A = this chain, B = another copy of it.
Amino acid sequence: MLRSHTCGQLRISDVNTSVTLCGWVQKSHNLGGITFIDLRDRYGITQLAFNMDWDKSLCEQARSLGREFVLQVKGTVIERESKNKNIATGEIEIKVSELLILNQAITPPFTIEDETDGGDELRMKYRYLDLRRNAVRKNLELRHRMAIETRNYLDKQQFLEVETPVLIKSTPEGARDFVVPSRMNQNQFYALPQSPQTFKQLLMVSGFDRYYQIVKCFRDEDLRADRQPEFTQIDCEMSFVEQEDILQTFEGLTRHLFKSVKGIDIPTLPRMTYADAMKNYGNDKPDTRFEMKLIQLNSAENNMVGGKNFKVFDEAETVLAICATGAAEYTRKQLDELTEWVKRPQLGATGLVYARVNADGTVKSSVDKFYSEEDLKKWVTCCNAKPGDLILVLAGAEEKTRKAASELRLEIGTRLGLRDKNKFSALWVVDFPLLEWNEGDPNLPESLRGRWVAKHHPFTSPKPEDIDLLKTNPGAVRANAYDIVINGVEVGGGSIRIFNKDLQATMFSVLGFTKGEAQKQFGFLMNAFEFGAPPHGGIAFGFDRLCSLFGGADSIRDFIAFPKNNSGRDMMIDAPGEISLEQLNELSIATK
């Protein structure tokens, strides 16, 4: 080794030890006759000391070093005069006796500090320098730890990691595939997997019983913010299980990760039905770090807003309130701004009604013209609002209003500081609908338009007690499907699969497939099922997202070593790029 210790290793107990360190020049200080250099490696920073009195030429050499030069130094550990409590090596420094410049460095385009002056584009272009920053490297160290702990947990539970192929076949369902022209099979293409779904179900048919894989998946989608064309999943499947077994197993994984990676004991995960999540949070991935449930003010049983000549509420399908704790002192300006916020096209609310609960218990609302103090007191009771709270009300069509109320709830939660990134609230959302109605392309003739589509995928099993509804009321059928939600983020989801041929046939018929179409699109898996498929189910976690959540970050990008930008480009290597005519010819394809 070119070093005896790392730059994060030496302590006061090492004083007088002769050491050799290697690393990068983080910064240097010249203080008259003394020069200090912070030498950095992955493990930390160690201060190097040079003194004109000790060795003039060495000190002068030290003064000539630029930022990010790569050094090897030999010297002796000495106690530092002014100690630095902020770093682990802060009590010592190295009295350098030899200095070797292993490599020079030109000046980096941005500072290699936790808070850098590099913008996003510059950081991505010079990602190899960006990765030198402590903050970014720590994210990837966390990711490594998450992967190791995931594997060790699942290995102990008898799961086998099996690598499924990357060069597979394009399927018409789902998102757009990336394809790979085959040179040896002309005019044919491989596709990159959007998930190993088929293969993991086949492994269950093979009797593998418990499978997992931390695996790259690919989707050629128009990239929304914080989506990547290649992303990583923890992909799992189990046989001879019911939904409860999967929930227990992967709740176990989640708790193990929190404990082993973050040292946090999280409580048993509550279960919430999809219906309750939508009712109380307007969202199938509720952020349960805070309450602030949506309260319906115009329910059939208890309509607290109707018949008071306030047309907006009278005509609304849904009137929803949330109670912002302690927000009664919001100024008129703040409320106006919030009103503008809910009126943005993304939310599309027509307005925002408020009711302040004053310190003395009186209520002041923006609709006092229509509602008496007594009327408003009912709102207060229903919302369990206290003096000092602010009730905010949205009204309109059900779906849109509930979605807007959900967004408003999250926004208020953020503004009130209720969404602490170091606090974690995890839960299962269960009993998802099996199907959802797809309006279809409005340009198509009506006969071809509306149809039921699988909410999860066509192999998801309905709840046994709801199977009879498949033919009479498909929209009411609940699935054995589940999501794991942490802090309002869906970090994983899965389902129990259909393994019975007749039920699968019914499902296809509900989805509007003829037998021929079903065979063409899914025949391959259905044929495998003929040879004795066991009951099975699984789950997949979004690993990039899970890591960013554990790291307390909003974006996944800094938890991926070499991410792509929103146009799917790797700015660093400048990919994709053109290929040669010779390559195109060999593949028998042409660009247009």
Q: Is the CB of A161 within 8 A of B176?
A: no
Q: Is the CB of B161 within 8 A of A240?
A: no
Looking at A143, A220, A560, which has the most chain B CB atoms within 10 Å of its CB?
A: A220
Provide the residues of chain B in CB contact with A31, threshold 8 Å: none
Listed by A's residue number, 18 A-B pairs whose Cβ atoms lie within 8 Å are A70-B532, A70-B533, A105-B531, A127-B202, A128-B205, A144-B160, A144-B161, A148-B161, A164-B561, A166-B218, A177-B583, A182-B568, A183-B220, A184-B567, A185-B568, A189-B578, A199-B561, A589-B591
User: Residue A306 at the B interface, CB < 8 A?
Assistant: no
Q: Which of these, B2, B41, B188, B500, contacts A576 with CB under 8 Å?
A: B188
Q: How far is the CB of A34 from chain B (nearest CB, A)?
A: 24
A67-78: CB near B (< 8 Å → 1, else 0) gives 011101000000
Q: Is the CB of B131 within 8 A of A206?
A: yes
Provide the residues of chain B in CB contact with A190, threshold 8 Å: 178, 575-576
| Contacts known (A105-B531, A240-B3, A575-B190); A207 close to B163, Cβ less than 8 A | no
Within 8 A of B (CB), among A385-415: none
Smallest CB gap from A179: residue in B: B579
Q: Is the CB of A167 within 8 A of B590?
A: no
Provide the residues of chain B in CB contact with A216, threshold 8 Å: 163, 166, 216
Bound Cα distance from A199 to B560, whole angstroms = 13
Q: How far is the CB of A377 from chain B (nearest CB, A)?
A: 53
Q: Which of these, B1, B152, B172, B185, contacts A240 with CB under 8 Å?
A: B1
User: Residue A587 at the B interface, CB < 8 A?
Assistant: yes
User: Residue A118 at the B interface, CB < 8 A?
Assistant: no
| Contacts known (A185-B576, A578-B189, A588-B592); A528 close to B180, Cβ less than 8 A | no
Q: Which of these, B128, B151, B185, contacts A567 with CB under 8 Å?
A: B185
Residues of A within 8 A of B (CB): 1-3, 22-24, 40-43, 68-70, 72, 102-106, 108, 126-129, 131-132, 137, 140-141, 143-144, 147-148, 151-152, 155, 160-170, 172, 176-192, 198-199, 202-203, 205-209, 216, 218, 220, 222-223, 229-230, 232, 239-242, 245, 499-500, 524, 528-535, 560-562, 564, 567-570, 572-580, 583, 586-592
Provide the residues of chain B in CB contact with A185, threshold 8 Å: 567-569, 576
Q: Is the CB of A198 within 8 A of B573?
A: yes
Provide the residues of chain B in CB contact with A24, threshold 8 Å: 207, 532
- For chain A, what secondary structure do more than half of its interface residues adopt (helix, strand, loop), or is it mixed? loop
Q: For the complex formed by this chain, how many copies does it contain in all?
A: 2
Known pairs A105-B531, A170-B579 / 10 extra A-B pairs, C-beta < 8 Å: A40-B207, A68-B531, A127-B202, A144-B155, A176-B583, A177-B583, A179-B587, A182-B576, A190-B575, A589-B590
Bound Cα distance from A85 to B205, whole angstroms = 29
Q: How far is the CB of A194 from chain B (nearest CB, A)?
A: 13
Provide the residues of chain B in CB contact with A222, threshold 8 Å: 184
Bound Cα distance from A181 to B192, whole angstroms = 12
Q: Is the CB of B209 within 8 A of A41?
A: yes
Provide the residues of chain B in CB contact with A242, threshold 8 Å: 1-2
Provide the residues of chain B in CB contact with A587, threshold 8 Å: 179
Q: Is the CB of A575 within 8 A of B169?
A: yes
Bound Cα distance from A282 to B179, whole angstroms = 43
Q: How far is the CB of A214 from chain B (nearest CB, A)?
A: 9
Bound Cα distance from A192 to B561, whole angstroms = 17
| Contacts known (A1-B240, A206-B132); A576 close to B528, Cβ less than 8 A | no
Smallest CB gap from A178: residue in B: B180
Provide the residues of chain B in CB contact with A203, threshold 8 Å: 128, 131, 561
Provide the residues of chain B in CB contact with A223, threshold 8 Å: 184
Bound Cα distance from A163 to B213, whole angstroms = 14
Bound Cα distance from A218 to B167, whole angstroms = 9
Provide the residues of chain B in CB contact with A108, threshold 8 Å: 531
Provide the residues of chain B in CB contact with A588, threshold 8 Å: 591-592
Bound Cα distance from A230 to B190, whole angstroms = 12
Bound Cα distance from A326 to B27, whole angstroms = 71
Smallest CB gap from A220: residue in B: B183
Q: Is the CB of A128 within 8 A of B167?
A: no
Q: Is the CB of B531 within 8 A of A573?
A: no
Bound Cα distance from A207 to B8, whole angstroms = 13
Give the top 10 A-B pairs by smallest Cβ distance, nearest first. A105-B532, A131-B206, A169-B575, A188-B576, A182-B576, A68-B532, A2-B240, A22-B240, A42-B209, A128-B202
Smallest CB gap from A42: residue in B: B209
Provide the residues of chain B in CB contact with A164, threshold 8 Å: 561-562
Q: Which of these, B129, B160, B570, contacts A206 with CB under 8 Å?
A: B129
Q: Is the CB of B208 within 8 A of A22?
A: no
Provide the residues of chain B in CB contact with A583, threshold 8 Å: 170, 176-177, 179
Q: How far is the CB of A567 from chain B (nearest CB, A)?
A: 6
Q: Is the CB of A172 within 8 A of B561?
A: no
Bound Cα distance from A41 to B166, whole angstroms = 28
Q: Is the CB of A207 within 8 A of B103?
A: no
Provide the residues of chain B in CB contact with A592, threshold 8 Å: 588-590
Q: Is the CB of A160 within 8 A of B141?
A: yes
Q: Is the CB of A524 within 8 A of B2?
A: no
Bound Cα distance from A198 to B3, whole angstroms = 25
Bound Cα distance from A534 to B189, whole angstroms = 41
Smallest CB gap from A568: residue in B: B184
Q: Is the CB of B172 within 8 A of A183?
A: no
Q: Is the CB of B103 within 8 A of A500?
A: yes
Bound Cα distance from A535 to B127, whole angstroms = 20
